[in-house]
Amino acid sequence: MKQVETIDKLQMVLLFQAFITGSTIINIQGPFIGIAENGAWISILLANGFGALVMVVVLYMYEKYPTLSYIQYTKVLMWKPVAYLFGISLALIVILFTANITYGMGQFLTTSMMKETPLYIFHFLIIMVASLTVRQGIEVMARMFHGILYFLFFIIFSILVLNVTQYHPEFLNPVLSIGWKPVFHAAYVGIGFPYIDIMYFAMILPYLKRDDKPFKRWMYGGLLLNGIILAVTIIASIMVFGPMVTYEKFPIFQLARIIEIGEIIQRVESVFGIALIIGSYMKITLMLFIIVEIVTQLFDLSNKRAFVFPLGLLVYLFSTTSFNNEIELGESGLIMETILAFSLGFLPLLIVAARALIKR
């Protein structure tokens, strides 16, 4: 990985879409519907709106310092000890959240597809593959994820279309059967994951080729597309399963499981499951790349490749030791993740942005 690597606007936007949608397409529907029930799609749109605010700050700083990442312009703008404090706190939460995503992917595999395989096997394999991908650099990742993302979107579209005969729009009512409080609670969860994650993407933006083409509108468009995709999949799950959807951990996978068209298309959930796993793989790979960027830039380390596997090992250890079961993971996501992401990630970014605003 060399800083001279660059990617074009389309590749950057697709990387962002893979980053913000990747693992979310598996993990977000179940918790949202479990909290807000029929109002879950409203929650995701509210959280998406907060993500737009995060995007405003990130792109503002990118316009002022287009060749610098978050860590680099923090070291320029802030007192050195404060810059190191912000950088270390960011590194810790990104490592923790990457471990959470890894655990969530392993949980999906053990509860839906391969129930007898230990979690640590899946964790090791996904971290190993992600580390090997990160070592190839951002250009290879951009070219690779380009086609994979189209495949993921095709699979999601296929799941929605092939279930069209199963939809019951009447299941969408009443929208706010339990009031607004659960809707806001689910939106609070969505702010912590995936929408504050947008600020971590500030570590990748300096790799964009500089040109005169409009870039910001494409980023906002990608964020809006993410909100629409997640809202539509939530609505589709509710229309198919009705009140029983609250008992499904992974509704999008269950939609794939019930697909049956004559004797030709049936029991194809394994194909759809592989596509959803690929989404988590892209997210984990990009998060690991960001971890390497944070650590090497914070401590001015030149050989980035040498730190990929040690940091990947650290993520693996966190993923296997942080939680004893999926209940603890759920409690962390529903309560602590948003608090940690806001206080240790987004709040320091606001402070740095305020410093940049008042500095000549």
pLDDT recorded at residue 267 = 63
pLDDT tens digits, one per residue of 57-107: 999 999 999 999 999 999 999 999 999 999 999 999 999 999 989 988 888
How far is residue 157 from each of residues 26, 161, 162, 187, measured CA to CA in Å? 14, 6, 9, 24
pLDDT tens digits, one per residue of 178-198: 889 999 999 999 998 889 999
| pLDDT greater at residue 265 or residue 210 | 210
- Does residue 221 surpass a pLDDT of 60? yes
pLDDT recorded at residue 291 = 97
Percent of the chain residues past pLDDT 70, beyond the cut: 95
| pLDDT greater at residue 1 or residue 221 | 221
pTM score? 0.93
Q: Please give the Cα distance from 294 to 289 (Å, whole number).
A: 9
Tell me what the mean pLDDT of segment 303-318 comes to: 93
Tell me what the pLDDT averaged over the chain comes to: 89
Tell me what the mean pLDDT of segment 22-47 comes to: 89
Tell me what the mean pLDDT of segment 335-341 comes to: 88
- Does residue 323 surpass a pLDDT of 80? no
pLDDT tens digits, one per residue of 240-263: 998 888 888 888 888 888 887 766
- Does residue 302 surpass a pLDDT of 90? no
The model's confidence at residue 344, banded by pLDDT at 50, 70 and 90, is: very high
pLDDT tens digits, one per residue of 275-298: 888 889 999 999 999 999 999 999
Q: Which residues pair with 261 in a beta bridge?
A: 265
Tokens of 293: 């960027």
Q: Please give the Cα distance from 302 to 322 (Å, whole number).
A: 30
The model's confidence at residue 360, banded by pLDDT at 50, 70 and 90, is: low
| pLDDT greater at residue 22 or residue 46 | 46
Identify the burial level of 252 via C-beta atoms within 10 angstroms of its C-beta, where 0-12 means exposed, 13-18 middle and 19 or more buried: buried
φ and ψ of 131, to 5 deg: -65, -45
- Does residue 115 surpass a pLDDT of 80? no
Sketch out the chain's domains with CATH numbers.
9-358 (1.20.1740.10)
The model's confidence at residue 265, banded by pLDDT at 50, 70 and 90, is: low
Nearest to 93 by CA among 352, 338, 349: 338
Q: Which of 25-34, 71-80, 93-102, 125-134 has the lowest mean pLDDT?
A: 25-34
The model's confidence at residue 2, banded by pLDDT at 50, 70 and 90, is: very low
pLDDT recorded at residue 1 = 43
Q: Which residues, 6 or more positions from 190, have their beta carbon under 8 angstroms from its beta carbon?
A: 28, 32, 43, 44, 46, 47, 48, 50
pLDDT recorded at residue 55 = 96
pLDDT recorded at residue 124 = 93
Q: Please give the Cα distance from 185 to 197 (Å, whole number).
A: 18
- Does residue 135 surpass a pLDDT of 70? yes
Helix ranges (DSSP H) in the chain: 9-21, 24-27, 29-36, 40-64, 70-77, 80-112, 119-135, 138-162, 181-190, 216-241, 251-257, 269-298, 308-321, 326-331, 337-341, 347-358
φ and ψ of 7, to 5 deg: -130, 155
pLDDT recorded at residue 263 = 67
Contact 353, 64 (CB under 8 A): no
pLDDT recorded at residue 74 = 95
- Does residue 211 surpass a pLDDT of 80? no
pLDDT recorded at residue 145 = 92
